[in-house]
Amino acid sequence: MMQPDDKIYVAGGNGLVGSAIVRQLRKQGYHHIVLRSHQKLELTRQADVECFFEAEKPDYVIDAAALVGGIRANAAAPADFLYINMQIQNNLIHAAFRQGVKKFLFLGSACMYPKFCEQPMREEFLLTGLPERTNEGYALAKVCGSRLCSYLYKQHGAPFISAIPANTYGVNDCFDPSNSHVIPALIMKYHRAKEEHLPSVELWGTGKPLREFIYADDIGDGCIFLLNHYEGEEPVNMGTGEEISMSDLSRLIGEVVGYQGEIVTDPSKPDGMMRRMLDSSRLLNMGWAPKVSLREGLTRLYQWYLENGPACK
């Protein structure tokens, strides 16, 4: 079990998930948190990472650092998403192992699962098929990071674990029009439509695909739970157990934003996977459960967007 005085290094602590982990750590009484910005520590440089670990000697490490982006960014730069993420995670995992940390938690992604995966997706389905081509580089890197943790546990008994969160959203999300994920993209679209009094908004695809979303602060809470209660070779899914169609998600975001126009689907545009949901029964059966409903999370995120404006990009 982590103690309040333990030194906890959160890699990527300024990002969407990393900042949520930091908030939850502080909320739960952990006060010795180590953070380094990208400018202060370049995680792709092995020597720099090893020097940092030798100097700081963290007790626990949570790896929430990654090059991330939407479909367009992943499809345009697969080499970057593979190489940079492999460098970051390999350097962190290797340095933490050499340093003998008490526990290391690696955060993966639901896109690690095969494109044509049985639903809901269970942990044993990893590597049973090919990933979605549009984000293959990122997915392959995340699979390798999770497997390296598993192999260190299997070969050395090292306390290295990994979690696979569902689609994540929340405070500090990316609101860059060219690089955002679906929820911030829809919030921007419906906010603009409300401000400009547009009669309708177009939703790509049929609106039928089903997706699962988890609020970032719930991931932070789940990470702390795993560090305190789980040790094992297998990765652990982290989701809500609830899914929503893209049409219903759009209507819900429209309600939260206050947009009263019509939402029109465009079936000529691609739907992507028709269903993508994690089977999180392993984690839920341990006694953990998410706390933030989708409506509440969207309301929090929209309020944050209104308060931060251009700073969200």
Q: With helix as H, strand as E and coil as C, how does 78-132 read?
A: HHHHHHHHHHHHHHHHHHHHHHCCCEEEEECCHHHCCCCCCCCECHHHCCCCCCC
Q: Read off the DSSP letter of residue 205.
A: B
Residue among 255, 244, 194 at smallest CA distance from 214 = 244
R_g of the chain computed on alpha carbons: 19
Question: First-to-last CA distance in the chain?
Answer: 37
User: Distance (Å, rounded) from C-alpha 313 to C-alpha 175?
Assistant: 5
- Counting runs of H as helices and runs of E as strands, what totals does the chain give? 10, 13
Set 30, 113, 138, 215: catalytic member: 138
Q: Interhelix angle for 294-308 vs 246-257, to 10°?
A: 50
User: Distance (Å, rounded) from C-alpha 38 to C-alpha 36?
Assistant: 7
DSSP string covering 253-311: HHHHHT--SEEEEETTS----SEE-B--HHHHHTT------HHHHHHHHHHHHHHHGGG
Q: Which residue has the tokens 């990002």?
A: 15
138 is catalytic: yes
Catalytic residues: 138
